[in-house]
Amino acid sequence: EICAFKIHGQELPFEAVVLNKTSGEGRLRAKSPIDCELQKEYTFIIQAYDCGAGPRETAWKKSHKAVVHIQVKDINEFAPAFKEPAYKAVVTEGQIYDSILQVEAVDEDCSPQYSQICNYEIVTTDVPFAIDRNGNIRNTEKLSYDKQRQYEILVTAYDCGQKPAAQDTLVQVDVKPVCKPGWQGPSTGLSTMQALSKCGAEE
């Protein structure tokens, strides 16, 4: 008969119990919660012991050593989180940018499926901006300083399990006017004329 299974290894969160002494059936189970973020896999040695000739364990005969390898399956318990609570950029009016700025989120899950960021999305509607899967934000039309000098848009992120970020990030885009030289001064004295620009006050 099989009286015990013994695991060799220190501070392992597992134990092996005998279910049927005659058949030798046993069960390996966790003694405490298993956390993939702390340890993704375990490898250890296990041995079986018969009941020996007497009640003392020292008389029990043991089997050869078997290797047990356990992989911890991840669950999508963490939501993406942005590295910055807010982002800011300045663009010049009248231009189309391939990338104005890049936002970035991270996820604390242990598996590639749940720890990777698969998609970003602009939450704010009716804004002339788009974002790609790498977090790069671009404008979809030429911006006008006279029409709108500042945009505030909210962005969220999704991990590959489609879990959204716990909190959106704020992106502020300031529109800078194009400098347009012009003359200012009395029409009767050329010496007092000064060349000024439209954006002189802002620069």
Q: What is the pLDDT of residues 89-106, one digit of tens each?
A: 999 999 999 999 999 999
| CATH homologous superfamily, domain 81-176 | Cadherins (2.60.40.60)
Closest CA to 102 of 135, 139, 129, 127: 135
**How much is the CA Rg of the chain, to the nearest whole Å?**
33
* Reported pTM: 0.75
Q: Per mean pLDDT, which range of 72-76, 77-81, 111-115, 181-185 is the poorest?
A: 181-185
What's the CA gap between 120 and 83, in Å, rounded?
14
CB 164 within 8 A of CB 79: yes
For residue 92 the two structure tokens come to: 């010049």
Percent of residues, the chain, with pLDDT higher than 70: 85
Q: Which two tokens stand for residue 15?
A: 């134990």
Burial of 53 (0-12, 13-18, 19+ CB in 10 A): exposed
Q: Where in the chain is the domain with CATH 2.60.40.60?
A: 81-176
pLDDT at 132: 97
**Could you tell me the pLDDT band of residue 185, with boundaries at 50, 70 and 90?**
low
